[in-house]
A and B are shown apart, each in its own frame.
Chain A
Amino acid sequence: MTPNAPDSYAATSCRTPGTVGDSAPRPDGPLKVRGAFAYSSDLEAEDMLWGTTLRSPHPRARILSVDTAAALALPGVHAVLTHRDVPGRNLHGSMVVDQPVLAVDTVRYEGEPVAVVAAEDPETARRAAELVRVAYEVLPPVTDAEAALTPDSPAVHDGGNLLRHVPLRRGRAARGEPLTADVVVRGVYEVGMQDQAFLGPESGLAVPDPDGGVSLHVATQWLHVDHDQVVAALGLPREKVRLHLAGVGGAFGAREDLSMHAHACLLALRTGRPVKMCYTREESFVGHVHRHPAKMAYEHGATRDGRLVYVKASIVLDGGAYSSSSPAVAGTVATCSLGPYEVPDAEVDVRVVYTNNPPCGAMRGFGAVQSCFGYESQMDRLARELGMDPVELRIRNAVAEGSAVANGQVLDHPAPVAELLRRVRDRPMPPAAPPEGAHLARTASRGESVVRGVGYAVGFKNVGFVEGFDDYSTARVRLESTGGQARAVVTSAAAEVGQGVVTVQAQIARTELGVEQVTVEFGDSSFGSAGPSSSSRQTYVTGGAVKAAAEAVRARVLERADRLLGRPGTATGLSGGAVTGPGGRVLCKLADVLGDEAVEETVEWHHRPTFPLDPHTGQGDSVFQFAFAAHRAVVDVDTELGLVRTVEIATAQDVGKAVNPQALLGQIHGGTVQGLGLALMEEIRTEGGLMQNPSFTDYLIPTVHDVPPMHVDVLELADPHAPYGVRGVGEPPNISSPAAVAAAVRDATGLDLPRIPLRLEDVAGLTRTPGSGVR
């Protein structure tokens, strides 16, 4: 082989399409529009059984006995399993291992799994589950998070109801001095329980393997943390349990914990047949964790000219019956509790509490949503108190690069908070006339009592895992020649949940290797971990891993090209399927350099280290990157009936680098709308621990009619520590939008509205709030 640079080839070597910065199309798009993409609920196997779960109807009860005889006797039933049939550790939990795989002698929330059944078809499985007789001694549930902290509350778990307390002390508070200021405003704010409400239900297929192990195909955000827990429950050697990513129909945090994973594996191993489990929508509502309800008492002190002096806050999160990611959520609430503002003194206590309510854990925004509603409500209140423009007050106190945030961490990357606020403020207002396309189901007004309101909010959150947790990612990049064309194969276990990490990985490989044809393969649990598809981290961390692996591949290829060309140091880059030299001059065809000897590198890539929070002061460099966004919401409110129509939303976000502008916009639109939903309609209601609305009939997520025109302003201020300068983008849109929408409704109604989601009766002014009311 003589690598030469034919003239005819030079023309194609300029630029590779679909690289970083392009709106490259999703590789899974064509399958998805044909209805041919295999989601976890679409999987089937020869000779497959169906599994179902018997769940507790009580939020708190002792199990006196479980009788499975009648269920087992039903024709078509192959197995009925209880906790006695769990061969390994009958506990799971992604952080604290406190949740039974199947309940033993106590149930702690409505919907807790007690037994699982495998049968020939789902109807038989369901009827068999109805035939399992469970005798319960029903106990009064612990349903109020604050009351759960009192000494006379029953304990949900041995060891008490306080799951984590994160204290944060800065400035005078850290020195034990009193906090005083010229102007003080106080408020108590609440956030209700939001559900991720992904569309693809929890589901998967467990297939027994000939070696006595099992393969589970499941929709998840992180195969490896699931794998650890399933291995423990099954009591099998790690290598005998294999987890594969099935198609994921949305996640938003709700797939960070186990749902049917261990259950399906247990049934498959017991019956020796493949077992499919697929939750119904009602079951899905009890089958995953939710956003923590929060009660937040805030006190802000400021100077008369609007400089924040101190913040005091006491925040209680309802963690529900099991820990899930509650400890980390509490940490995020604390770290984000002051907002993206300069606050010299702070005294904040965040407590997350066990109750017998539905378990809460990860949801997009992960605690930063709740605290943003608290501090931004306070900023508006302070602006009113001072007679200041609310945006001006925010700008005056905004952090910037070099500022310290609540955990004392100095921002060492761009933090354009003031600029984001200015951008949403300076955008022209929408016309006064209502937007086209009247609401279909709202025939209640011909314009009577409709008042326009405008609200602003800015929010921030850490990207990736924090407090010393090393959420590294592993990527393998292989560059090979097939049919005379160079192509790259990228492998990682990064879960594609809809966000587009599969597209991003391909774009990075194209960028680094200058090849157009890239295949992204999903690694299973035997491949190295990619960390979770959560916390806005995959583009940064798995992106970093793919970039590093591709760079290593490129270095080897360039070396080989130098050798083949016989001129060391000549080959400097890869572009357009060619090896290039200085000035982008094409030296030879990449495929010729590769020949039949592929180049492959695997890299485990770590972001810069983070450190724990001081247990007494909550101070520490716990975060490797913060991300910021601002929203302006314009609403029309029928003030008599409490009906809200969002007229327009403007948002500005710093993304560091827009790796895929189209996908980025999709994230910003989608996240903003989830926030709008939290402000106006999305709430799981419980009474006595019992869920009142586990259906899409009464758990309302925004329809196309609820979504206004959206204006997105993207800033690209590179983070010098991040690959390509990227900044996590998934969560910021969801953090400040609820607060902005609520602020706009306040502006229209003149009501305090200290709680989201806003209910009709709240907006109509029929709800009395202790200590407040019409302002």
Chain B
Amino acid sequence: MSLPATMDFLLPDRLDDALDALAARPGTLPVAGGTDVMVRLSRGRERPPAAVDLTRIPCLARWEREAGVVRLGAAVPYTRLADELAGPLPGLAAAARTVGSRQIRNRGTVGGALGTAWAAGDVHPMLLALGAEVELVSARGARRVPVREFYTGPGRTVRAPDELIRAVRVPEAEGPQSYAKAGRRGALVVATCSFAAALWPSRGTVGTGIGGAADTPLPALEAERFVAGELAGRRLWQSLEPLPDGVLTRFGELAAAAVSPADDVRGSAAYRRHAVAVLARRALGWVWDDYRADARAKEETCA
């Protein structure tokens, strides 16, 4: 296989021009922070016919809040996400803070993570737990895809080659959220596995997401159904009692049952299965305990 020697790099400042470029040449690579793609490009491991820069298109670098949803432009770097959106998106901000290093977070974006769709990427579990939607746009038009339908395989998504990830729409927090990540080093480390939990009191549910423990990021659906039922059945939303240990443990077991992990240098499959159960149990415990503490604090303020 011979790769083309050169690659055009387009620098549009209008979204339409970027879309035209994607439509004109199949395989054109959109590049925002470059933190994933440059590793492949600079070693010649990947040689697309063209790349298109997303950092000059103003609408991609903006976020806005409307009707309880943050619309996060695909090219907003993690540093800005963590600094500017920790209020409405505490879980996503927390996950973003664990990505790589400051240098990486200054460049890396949620849009880029979605484009690469690496199963161990730190923001995916939280996007799943939050029920985010991905805005895809092409010269043909625009569509929204729930993130739970977005990942289709290792590094594969529903994005068509001519489509661009324009933004991700993330519901604002209405309760505690937490991101639990296990890795072998104190910083600058890929998650061996991770778990996100987000409490949605208005719906009586807990959103979940698991990273690094299957071909794709995935939600713990059985665990979600189970805990929603337990919270309702035990009238815990009303009583604000602690979650029984048995419920926490079962939640963890169900989360672990959802994964199909691999053995690799970051950890064994057995470890990942075990750790997902532990992380899920802990993350659920934290969001519920925080919710109870918040509720009690509110009561005291009112009284």
Contact = CB atoms under 8 A, between A and B. Distances in A.
B185 A700 contact: yes
A70 to B, nearest CB: 10
Contacts of A127: 3, 5, 44
Nearest to A75: B5
A761 B181 CA distance: 15
Contact of A761 (B98, B187, B271, B278): B271
Counting contact residues on chain A (CB < 8 A from B), the size range is 35 or more
B270 A280 contact: no
Interface centre among B43, B268, B286, by most A CB within 10 Å?
B268
A461 to B, nearest CB: 28
B273 to A, nearest CB: 9
A760 to B, nearest CB: 5
B184 A700 contact: yes
B44 A680 contact: no
Interface string A528-558: 0000000000000000000000000000000
Interface stretch (A264-272, A639-647, A734-742): A639-647
A293 to B, nearest CB: 15
A706 B185 CA distance: 7
Counting contact residues on chain B (CB < 8 A from A), the size range is 35 or more
B119 to A, nearest CB: 15
A489 B188 CA distance: 44
Given A443-B98, A443-B180, A448-B282, A700 B189 contact: yes
Contact of B189 (A126, A441, A445): A441
Contact of A766 (B184, B264, B271): B271
A718 to B, nearest CB: 39
A697 interface: yes
A698 B190 contact: yes
A641 B271 CA distance: 8
Contacts of A282: 43
Contact of A764 (B178, B187, B271): B271
B186 A764 contact: no
B187 A439 contact: yes
A697 B266 CA distance: 10
A444 interface: yes
B265 A645 contact: no
A697 B190 contact: yes
Contacts of B182: 442, 444, 641, 643, 760
Given A127-B44, A761-B267, A444 B184 contact: no
B274 interface: yes
B186 A442 contact: yes
A42 interface: no
A683 to B, nearest CB: 8
A123 B43 CA distance: 9
A706 B178 CA distance: 23
A428 B270 CA distance: 39
A700 B266 CA distance: 10
A654 to B, nearest CB: 31
B179 interface: yes
Contacts of B180: 443-444
B265 A443 contact: no
Contacts of A123: 44
B187 A703 contact: yes
Given A760-B275, A764-B275, A440 B186 contact: yes
A50 to B, nearest CB: 14
Given A441-B185, A443-B179, A641 B278 contact: yes
A766 B268 contact: yes
Contacts of B173: none
A725 interface: no
Interface in A295-313: none
A705 interface: yes
Nearest to A677: B185
A703 B188 contact: yes
A397 interface: no
B49 to A, nearest CB: 17
A681 interface: yes
A441 B211 CA distance: 14
Given A641-B278, A697-B190, A698-B265, A442 B271 contact: no
A759 interface: yes
Contacts of B187: 439-441, 703-706
Contact of A442 (B94, B183, B266): B183
B97 interface: yes
Given A444-B181, A445-B282, A703-B186, A761 B265 contact: no
Interface string A519-530: 000000000000
Contacts of A443: 94, 98, 178-181
A693 interface: yes
Interface centre among A640, A645, A704, by most B CB within 10 Å?
A640
A698 B183 contact: no
A175 interface: no
B192 interface: yes
A497 B270 CA distance: 42
A446 B183 CA distance: 15
24 contacts: A440-B98, A440-B187, A441-B189, A441-B191, A443-B98, A444-B182, A445-B282, A446-B286, A641-B275, A681-B185, A692-B264, A692-B265, A698-B190, A700-B185, A700-B189, A702-B186, A703-B187, A705-B186, A706-B186, A706-B187, A760-B267, A761-B268, A761-B274, A766-B271
Interface of A: 123, 126-127, 280, 282, 439-446, 448, 640-643, 645, 680-681, 685, 692-693, 697-698, 700, 702-706, 759-761, 764, 766
Interface of B: 3, 5, 43-44, 94, 97-98, 178-192, 264-268, 270-271, 274-275, 278-279, 282, 286
Give 10 closest A-B pairs by Cβ, nearest first.
Answer: A705-B186, A761-B271, A439-B186, A705-B187, A440-B187, A706-B186, A693-B265, A761-B268, A703-B187, A700-B185
